[in-house]
């Protein structure tokens, strides 16, 4: 996944919808604008005002939904992470998928706008006390959910000693591959690494 697609950017027109639905759409526009903003400009360049403008929402309306900058950006990363999780589950719902396809899809979670945004938030939280507890908690939650999906889609049996750590290591590798893709397009190298480790993991998981 690269930048957010048009539908992910939340271009649903707001006018003509009933009030509650309008509020939900506005909220979604704000969350998606916040993720793009964070991915492109980093934490220092990401304020509620910038996001409101990007989402085409008044600053007052933005503050009504998210009273603080920290609340907006942690909610944004969580929202997009949930969307991705749902999409990933749906992708493999129809039929059991071969493990290499699952590994590739898991790695893809770490190479787009969501990962860039989460990384910016993560690194900012390491230097900013007021951001740290929320981001630490968010990362733990998203991490647990990703692990659950990985175990399920890989058909891994966690009652076997070591399997849990094998899957965790795969997700750590995926995170490292995501980091290697932040400054340059690392796709060609990543594809080779993923192909090789898919085989190794398939053997390790039995």
The angle at the Cα of 176, spanning 205 to 69, to the nearest 5 degrees, equals 120
Structure tokens that stand for 144 in this block? 């647990």
Among the residue ranges 57-65, 71-79, 92-100, 123-131, the one whose residues contact a copy of itself (CB under 8 A): 123-131
Select the residue interacting with a copy of itself from 67, 162, 185, 187 (CB under 8 A): 162
> Which is closer to a copy of itself, CB of 40 or CB of 145?
40
Question: Is position 188 an interface residue for a copy of itself (rule: CB under 8 A)?
Answer: no
Question: Is position 69 an interface residue for a copy of itself (rule: CB under 8 A)?
Answer: no
Structure tokens that stand for 54 in this block? 């990007």
* C-alpha 86: how far from chain center: 11
Please, which residues have CB within 8 angstroms of residue 118's CB and are 6 or more apart in sequence? 77, 81, 139, 142
Question: How many C-alpha atoms does 124 have within 13 Å on its Cβ side?
Answer: 22
Select the residue interacting with a copy of itself from 17, 22, 42, 50 (CB under 8 A): 42
Select the residue interacting with a copy of itself from 23, 47, 85, 166 (CB under 8 A): 166
* Size of interface with a copy of itself, in residues (CB under 8 A): 48
Do residues 178 and 115 lie in contact, with contact meaning Cβ atoms separated by under 8 Å? Answer: yes
The residues in 125-154 that bind a copy of itself, with binding defined as CB under 8 A, are 125-127, 132, 135-136, 139, 143
Question: Is position 123 an interface residue for a copy of itself (rule: CB under 8 A)?
Answer: yes
CB of 178 to a copy of itself, least distance (A): 8
Question: Is position 24 an interface residue for a copy of itself (rule: CB under 8 A)?
Answer: no
3-class SS of residue 7:
coil
Distances, alpha carbon 202 to alpha carbons 26, 27, 170, in Å: 44, 41, 11
CA trace torsion 126, 130, 131, 134 (10° rounding): 120
Backbone phi and psi for residue 46, each to the nearest 5 degrees, phi listed first? -115, 105
By the 10 Å C-beta count (0-12 exposed, 13-18 middle, 19+ buried), 23 is classed as middle
Question: Is position 202 an interface residue for a copy of itself (rule: CB under 8 A)?
Answer: no
Question: Is position 3 an interface residue for a copy of itself (rule: CB under 8 A)?
Answer: no
Select the residue interacting with a copy of itself from 50, 91, 97, 193 (CB under 8 A): 193
Enumerate binding residues for a copy of itself (CB under 8 A). 40-42, 44-45, 116, 119-120, 122-127, 132, 135-136, 139, 143, 162, 165-166, 168-169, 171-180, 182-184, 189, 192-193, 195-197, 199-201, 203-204
């Amino acid at each position: 996944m690269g930048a957010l697609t048009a539908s992910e950017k939340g271009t649903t027109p707001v006018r003509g919808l009933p009030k509650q639905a309008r509020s939900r759409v506005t909220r979604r526009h704000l969350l998606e604008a916040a993720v793009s903003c964070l991915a492109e400009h980093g934490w220092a360049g990401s304020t509620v005002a910038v996001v409101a403008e990007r989402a085409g929402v008044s600053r007052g309306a933005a503050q009504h939904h998210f009273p603080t900058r920290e609340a907006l950006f942690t909610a944004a990363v969580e929202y997009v992470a949930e969307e991705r999780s749902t999409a990933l589950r749906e992708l493999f719902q129809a039929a059991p998928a071969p493990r290499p396809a699952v590994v590739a899809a898991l790695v893809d979670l770490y190479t787009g706008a969501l990962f860039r945004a989460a990384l910016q938030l993560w690194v900012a939280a390491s230097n900013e006390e007021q951001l740290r507890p929320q981001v630490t908690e968010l990362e733990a939650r998203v991490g647990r959910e990703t692990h659950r999906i990985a175990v399920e889609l890989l058909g891994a049996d966690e009652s076997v000693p070591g399997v849990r750590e094998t899957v965790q290591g795969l997700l750590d590798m995926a995170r490292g591959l995501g980091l290697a893709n932040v400054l340059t397009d690392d796709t060609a190298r990543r594809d080779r690494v993923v192909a090789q480790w898919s085989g190794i993991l398939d053997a390790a998981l039995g």
